Structure 1
Amino acid sequence: MERWKRGEISSRECLEIECSGVRVSPREMEEFLRHFELDPTFPSFVQYCRKEGIPLYILSDGLDFYIRYLLERYRLEDVPFFSNRLCFSDGRLVPEFPYFIPSCGMCGNCKVAHIRRLRREGDLVVHIGDGLSDRFAAEEADVVFAKGELLEYCQNTGLPCRPFRDFRDVQEALPDLRGREVPEGRGRRCPEVPLLEGARPING
């Protein structure tokens, strides 16, 4: 993980290394995930977006197994998400990368490509993130809500962002963004990323 944070290896390489050292069955993995919870403000945020007609997607450089498990547990399985895949082979974890961009190679799942493909003309793209894997998506988005390592990255690089604690903060801020003009000049780090035409959500 530290080598990835220092930029010595890609997130794909980091995930492959992490998975290679784990031996676990799907059942054992589910038992492990029982101890994890979603942000308790996320379900109501999903309902708000639905009510207001705001498209919502989960973009993750993690693995579909635990994302799907948590969404189903909270009855949010219809929220579309794009992530890497996890397969099990003889007790081994084998990650797959359906949204990998070989010409770049920095991320297992290219969030920038998803944003560019899903963006409609005139859309104001809002990115909500808390990790270092959100940094390229944050530079592509028009408005960024950040905490954790993403907030630290934005502060260190001068990337404009709005600090947040949970999804209530984001929900309270969204009405003021309605009708806001789409700024220019974002996407500075990934100018040549393909659009992943025809890509479907992992759960789509």
Structure 2
Amino acid sequence: MDGSKLKIFIDFDGTITAEDVGDAIFRKFGDSVKAEAIINDLHNDKISSRECWDLLCSLISNIDENELNEFIDSIEIDNYFHAFVTFCRANKIDLFILSDGFDYYIKRILEKQNLSHLKYFANTLEIVNGKFIPKYPFYNPEYRTSANPKRNHIIDNSSDDDYTFYIGDGHSDNDAAQYCDYIFAKNGLLKYCELERISYYPFKDFNDVTERIKELLSRKRLKKRHQAQIIRKHAYEAE
């Protein structure tokens, strides 16, 4: 393949982890019926991602941190993610985790998995007197599908010369995926790509991703996705 720098941007909840950790926390420790209704409103575009998190956090009034941490520690990650990280390191491919979830559980899960060296961007969460206090350091009201607009991190951490991959599964990935050359999609993101006629590669786990990237790297040249090039160019020029 050519000399382009490879960059991979990865969703966290439901992509690296076996389930959506943020949603699972609120279903377990909040009012599960209310939590489900709020999450459905987000997926049906009735509320923004930030509104969704604010409403979900308001359901938590007296959290036991030890119980919360035990629950987070029970979360499993994709069986092939460690091997994928090793593969990327060996091939000098940069990885960035882009999450619309919270640093509180991402940091804990990555540390438990001995993956704390991975760079991530997320919303922040503090626990004060048993209550969840969310903060959104990267918030931009123009992007409703994510309180932490992933598209911005892709633009900030790549250039026109790079070849970019996106790996995701859900609602918060919709805007971001459009800016990348090659999309690995499942679940909600897959449906979105089909609806919007965005080319993608379906995957079920990170073994699928690794094998496909190996295949792509064996080629002399990686072809950039034309539509992604156009919108990235506009974004870089606007910076």
TM-score, reference length from structure 1: 0.88
**Match of 2:225, as an amino acid?**
P
Identical aligned pairs, as a percentage?
A: 35
Contact 1:141 1:186 in 2 (8 A): yes
1:115 is aligned, of 154, 158, 170, to: 154
Distance in 2 (alpha carbons) for counterparts of 1:14 and 1:50: 36
2:116 aligns with: 77
Q: What do you get for the CA RMSD once the two structures are aligned? A: 2.3
Distance in 1 (alpha carbons) for counterparts of 2:64 and 2:135: 17
Q: How far apart are 1:120 and its partner, in Å?
A: 2.6
5 Å matches for 1:189-200?
none
1:44 aligns with: 83
Q: Please tell me whether residue 8 in structure 1 is matched to residue 46 in structure 2.
A: yes
Contact 1:136 1:189 in 2 (8 A): no
Any idea what SS the aligned residue of 1:159 has?
A: coil
State which drifts further: 128-137 or 168-177. Answer: 168-177
Contact 1:123 1:182 in 2 (8 A): no
**Match of 1:183, as an amino acid?**
R
Q: May I ask how many residue pairs the two structures share in their alignment?
A: 196
Seen in structure 2, the aligned counterparts of structure 1 residues 124 and 189 have a Cα distance that, compared at 3 Å, is closer
Q: Comparing both structures, which one devotes a greater share of its residues to helix?
A: 2
Seen in structure 2, the aligned counterparts of structure 1 residues 191 and 144 have a Cα distance that, compared at 3 Å, is same
2:65 is aligned, of 16, 26, 31, to: 26
Unaligned runs of 5+ in 2: 1-38
Unaligned runs of 5+ in 1: 198-204
State which drifts further: 51-60 or 167-176. Answer: 167-176
**Match of 1:182, as an amino acid?**
K
Q: How far apart are 1:190 and its partner, in Å?
A: 9.3
Q: Which has the higher contact order (CA 8 A, sep 6+)?
A: 2
Contact 1:4 1:14 in 2 (8 A): yes
Seen in structure 2, the aligned counterparts of structure 1 residues 192 and 102 have a Cα distance that, compared at 3 Å, is farther
TM-score, reference length from structure 2: 0.75
